[in-house]
Structure 1
Amino acid sequence: MDEHADILTQARQAGAVQDWPTAAARFGAVPGERLSADDLAAYSDAVWWLGRIDDTLRLGAAACDAFETDGRPADAAWAALMVGIFHLARGDQPQGMGWLGRAERLVNEIPECPVHGYLAHFSGVELQLMTGRPAAALDAAHRVRDIGRRCHEPVLVAVGLHSEGRALVRLGQVDRGLALIDEAMVTVTNSRISHPFVTGGLYCHTIATCHAVADLRRMARWTELTERWLASLPAAVAFDGLCGVHRAQLLLLNGEWDEAERRALEVAKSLDAHRIDYAAEAWYVVAETRRLRGASTAAEAYDEAHARGRDPQPGRALLRLRDGDVTGAAMSVRSALVAAGNDSLRRAPICAAAADIAIVAGRLDDAADAASELSATAASYPTSGLETMARAAHGAVLLAEGRADEALPVLREACRRWHELGAAYEVAGTCVRLAEAYRALGDETSAAAERAQADAAYGRLGVLRRAPAAPDGLTERECEVLGLVADGLSNREIGAALRISDRTVARHLTNIFHKIDTTSRTQAARYAVDHGLAASR
């Protein structure tokens, strides 16, 4: 009796029903010389789903060679394409591009078939989008869809439609682009596609596109549907990790920071070997949770993201602001905008941070410019997240400019929208500004209510509230005096509050006026509000 033949039959049957753990174990129990080209390809596929990337690359290369030997260039090209993609995903560009070149050579020698379309999708769509050429990606997406139709390959048609949607989104046609993505994904979710790798890729690209344009509601829904699809599979270590990054991003937004950090750290560990881009994004989520909580280890996490190729901005600039380095934060966010170039979607979160930092630094013209750009981006990409970010920044600038009556309705609308999106930290920050607006308008009751909401939210989130470092060389006592000036107290009232003499208060004020280059209590009060030193805050 041939024991290996029976094991090989079991391996093939397990692979056919996508039972990858069993398939990998059975294929691994058979001597390598007994494996056919199809067996090697199925084995490579199985171990990829289990996260064994080195075995995937070795077996994929062997499958490609075996298919060529068997005179099956289309199958060899598919194997070469997969190996190339996996090398690129782990950051090995020379080998990745070499394998893609081999795939292209193989398909150039055969009549048109679906592999032509998949190769055109990766080289013509993915690489063009990665290099910032959405118009070229759109043309390639049309070619992919046409090949799918000519070859009667519905999966490839869906890939082309999905790619067209992504390219249109990058070209600013957000509504049309997202509609095409949804249409393609309905095809995917309502039919059993024979290529689960392709299915997973479409899910990931859908969520990533939603995240890029801050369509947070759509992102949450597609993340939920992706997790449901993954739960139907016997094992999906690789895609579990990819989806885990997006879930961590949503947990971060919703204020579930402990769980966000836990998941992100798991992803960073599991994907570091074969999806360095996702591992980098996971480290950025870790850094953000630590920054928002006030943890001292945030800088290390930003460094980990940076080391894997992820620009750590705007988080790193906001970390400098949190630690009291207002000048450094302003310089950092300005250079981040330069580095982002003309990519308005990449610039959007940096603009939001730039507005906040400029307000604290007292550079209201810079804050207004950042908020104006963010509003323009939201007009071009009208999604729930970008529109809310733009409103919040605009309201903050109006408030800083002393236009509380104009700021109040804008901030109220931003707060409502943040609530709808489940953005707990942003809600709290907007409540703080609402309190300032109400106080400026003389409504102390409403101001106190908003401040109480903010403090309760910060408490639930576990935010470590640090006093910011004093700007312009002010001492701690001078900051206290300046804050009470902003609250409208007289010298005598300040002295009573701080238990110091009126003469000491006057001396502090003289030093304060000199340090901040102002000559009146009104200007000093404005400075205190702009720099977050108002005592009532």
Structure 2
Amino acid sequence: MHETLSAAREAHRRRDWQAARDSFTEAAAVEPLSADDAFALADAAWWLGLVDESLAAGEQAYRRYLDGDRPGRAAMAAIHIAVDLLLRGDGVLGSGWLRRAQRLLEDQSEAPEHGYLMYLTQVEAGMGGPAYDEVAAAAARVGVLGREHGDPNLVALGILGEGRALLKQGRMAEGFALLDEAMVAVLTEDLSSEWAGNIYCHLMAACHELGDVRRAVAWTRATKEWLQTLPAAVLFTGICRVHRSQVLQATGGWEEAEAEAARVCEDLEHIHVASAAEAHYQVAELCRLRGFFDDAEDAYEQARARGRDPQPGLALLHLARGRPKLAASALEASLAGTDDPLRRLPLRAAQVEIALQAGDFELAGQACDEVAAIADRFGCDGFVATSQTSRAACLLASGQAEPALALLRTACRTWRELGLPYDAARAGVLLARACAAAGDRDGAARELEAARKLFDRLGAVGDVKIVDGLRGHTRSDVGLTAREIEVLAEVAAGRTNRQIADRFVISERTVERHLSNIFVKLDCGSRTAAAAYAHEQGLVPRAE
């Protein structure tokens, strides 16, 4: 028994969650675990994604701490139980356990447990705004408690909280400097894995909100080795996949991004509902951009069912499917439900596009003004480029090509420098239209050609069709991607979807998607017609 417990404690210390869980479970079968060992078992089970088992062990630890007259430790167990419940979307029970922790700590001298409770109830809970000064003050107090009690977790959480509060106020340089400092602590200090993961998630969420893809890429690379210290960490490995998917989408790796997000939808479904919801939204966005509209609509609804507002993606999907009124009303409902400028900017940017297509120039102008105000407040390069692109679209719609040209050239340069190919290509199409309106037909042709190459590489089927329409191309230049040509060759050789899937190690559904794109691009409705076209155009070897 003693040897088994010693092995369990050592495995927990080195973060070998599976070994720790197995050994603690074996020991518990012989006699009840101590409060500390039950708490460690709860921790190991949580990292393995065994939430119910973690909750059961956590409750055992809570009761045994109370029985042993250790209210501070009982409060810490209650906090961990609350976090488990809140992460999987059970807000009522989670709040109840937080209240238990508060009650236990009310008459206790100030200790680290007070810092963790303050972080959850005053810092994280306050991130929705608008009292960011109070959030920053609470975060500073968390950091002070950490220094007073020698708790590096609290010190880092305090730095993180202050940084996020500053970012919400538009103090970008100061805020990101603090978040970077907190992440350095993750990589160099002996922080608890769960709080280190919390810091990482906040950093990546901030990068995503503010469009700082370069910082997100840098920290994704920097944390790769850290993640390897969490051998079977289902939860944070899954969360990291969400962030990786977002980075891959932004930088152009769409197929890989969708695969990462789809895996998270399965892995975190009953562990971390917010990440599962975000993963479904990611899948939806990638399907929409690649022209798989039915799959996109299903995934947006999955995100909505898990509490994630599916806008602006769903509104843009409605627009792509020829439903402008539905797109407009969907955005209006989301805008009415938030005052957060970081949330409103993408909604308003989408509203510019939708309103212009509907001919509502007044609404487009109002949305454009708010995008500009938010961009001015935060000063992020991506926000400024979004504002410039939106303003240029409004200028073009009103026949003012010359001022639009200057804005679009700057925006295109910014998107390229940020490494965001899709945004650069979209702005490039507007730039081509501005060039054409100003009489520069050669410039317009060059911009369309560059945009088309980017769209083709990404697999942005709808955008390729738009560009080809602007260029007036015929069926002999249909913009098949390299993978679509490979699939078309297999079709021309008479192979089935199953055979094609096996050959390229992809799913049959992916083959169906490629075929759908091929049929759209070739403007044909059957495999026979597609194969005939492939032979006519020399897109596949004659031997096939």
Counterpart CA distance in 2 for 1:232 and 1:9 is 21
1:361 is aligned to 358
Deviation at 1:9, TM superposition (A): 1.8
2:135 is aligned to 137
Q: Which moved more, 1:270-279 or 1:306-315?
A: 270-279
Superposed, 1:387-406 pairs within 5 Å as 387-406=384-403
Deviations 1:331-372 (CA, angstroms, capped at 9, x unpaired): 3223322222x2111100011101111222222222222122
Deviations 1:70-94 (CA, angstroms, capped at 9, x unpaired): 2222221111101011111111122
- AA partner of residue 57 (structure 1): L
Superposed, 1:335-354 pairs within 5 Å as 335-340=333-338, 342-354=339-351
- AA partner of residue 462 (structure 2): R
CA RMSD of aligned residues (A): 2.1
1:240 aligns with 2:240: no
- Gapped regions of structure 2 (runs ≥ 5): 473-544
2:227 is aligned to 230
SS at match of 1:402: coil
2:10 is aligned to 13
Superposed, 1:294-333 pairs within 5 Å as 294-295=291-292, 296-333=294-331
Deviation at 1:186, TM superposition (A): 2.3
- AA partner of residue 81 (structure 1): I
2:273 is aligned to 276
- AA partner of residue 177 (structure 1): G
1:435 aligns with 2:435: no
Determine if contact 1:185/1:202 at 8 Å carries over to the other structure: yes
Q: Which moved more, 1:30-39 or 1:88-97?
A: 30-39
Counterpart CA distance in 2 for 1:40 and 1:31 is 9
Superposed, 1:445-464 pairs within 5 Å as 445-464=442-461
Q: Please tell me whether Structure 1 or Structure 2 has the larger radius of gyration of its CA atoms.
A: 1
1:407 aligns with 2:404: yes
Counterpart CA distance in 2 for 1:429 and 1:161 is 38
2:120 is aligned to 122
Determine if contact 1:145/1:161 at 8 Å carries over to the other structure: yes
Determine if contact 2:129/2:340 at 8 Å carries over to the other structure: no
Counterpart CA distance in 2 for 1:273 and 1:406 is 51
- Gapped regions of structure 1 (runs ≥ 5): 470-479, 485-537
SS at match of 1:465: helix
1:291 is aligned to 288
1:57 is aligned to 55
Determine if contact 1:216/1:384 at 8 Å carries over to the other structure: no
- AA partner of residue 18 (structure 1): R
Match of 1:107 among 105, 108, 118: 105
1:521 is aligned to none
- AA partner of residue 53 (structure 1): V
Deviation at 1:123, TM superposition (A): 0.8
Deviation at 1:98, TM superposition (A): 1.2
1:252 aligns with 2:249: yes
SS at match of 1:263: helix
Deviation at 1:318, TM superposition (A): 0.3
Counterpart CA distance in 2 for 1:306 and 1:213 is 22
Deviations 1:71-125 (CA, angstroms, capped at 9, x unpaired): 2222211111010111111111221011111111222232221111111111111
Determine if contact 2:163/2:178 at 8 Å carries over to the other structure: yes
Deviations 1:448-477 (CA, angstroms, capped at 9, x unpaired): 1111112222211222238999xxxxxxxx
Tell me the matched-pair count: 468
Deviation at 1:8, TM superposition (A): 2.0
Q: Quick one: percent identity of the two aligned structures? A: 42
Counterpart CA distance in 2 for 1:434 and 1:440 is 10
SS at match of 2:230: coil
Q: Which moved more, 1:297-306 or 1:388-397?
A: 388-397
Determine if contact 1:396/1:411 at 8 Å carries over to the other structure: no
Counterpart CA distance in 1 for 2:460 and 2:156 is 45
1:25 is aligned to 22
Counterpart CA distance in 2 for 1:180 and 1:206 is 10
Determine if contact 2:88/2:270 at 8 Å carries over to the other structure: yes
Superposed, 1:66-105 pairs within 5 Å as 66-105=64-103
Change (3 A) 1:162 1:483: closer
Counterpart CA distance in 2 for 1:240 and 1:467 is 35
Determine if contact 1:241/1:267 at 8 Å carries over to the other structure: yes
Counterpart CA distance in 1 for 2:168 and 2:463 is 39
1:196 aligns with 2:203: no
Deviations 1:233-275 (CA, angstroms, capped at 9, x unpaired): 3222111111111111111112222111111111111111121
Determine if contact 2:289/2:462 at 8 Å carries over to the other structure: no
Deviation at 1:298, TM superposition (A): 0.8
SS at match of 2:365: helix
Deviations 1:386-423 (CA, angstroms, capped at 9, x unpaired): 12211211222222221111111211111111112222
Counterpart CA distance in 1 for 2:464 and 2:198 is 45
- AA partner of residue 212 (structure 2): D
Alignment TM-score, normalising by the size of structure 1: 0.83
- AA partner of residue 174 (structure 2): R
Determine if contact 2:285/2:313 at 8 Å carries over to the other structure: yes
Counterpart CA distance in 2 for 1:24 and 1:30 is 10
SS at match of 2:252: coil
Alignment TM-score, normalising by the size of structure 2: 0.82
Change (3 A) 1:230 1:98: same
- AA partner of residue 417 (structure 2): E
2:524 is aligned to none
Counterpart CA distance in 1 for 2:128 and 2:362 is 34
Deviations 1:301-353 (CA, angstroms, capped at 9, x unpaired): 0000000001111011100110112232223223322222x211110001110
Determine if contact 2:268/2:275 at 8 Å carries over to the other structure: yes
1:519 is aligned to none
SS at match of 1:172: coil
SS at match of 1:394: helix
Counterpart CA distance in 2 for 1:398 and 1:64 is 63
Counterpart CA distance in 2 for 1:379 and 1:466 is 29
Deviation at 1:376, TM superposition (A): 0.9
Determine if contact 1:355/1:368 at 8 Å carries over to the other structure: yes
1:218 aligns with 2:179: no
1:166 aligns with 2:164: yes
Deviation at 1:290, TM superposition (A): 0.7
Counterpart CA distance in 1 for 2:332 and 2:102 is 42
Counterpart CA distance in 2 for 1:280 and 1:465 is 25
Q: Which moved more, 1:28-37 or 1:447-456?
A: 28-37
2:183 is aligned to 185
Deviation at 1:159, TM superposition (A): 1.3
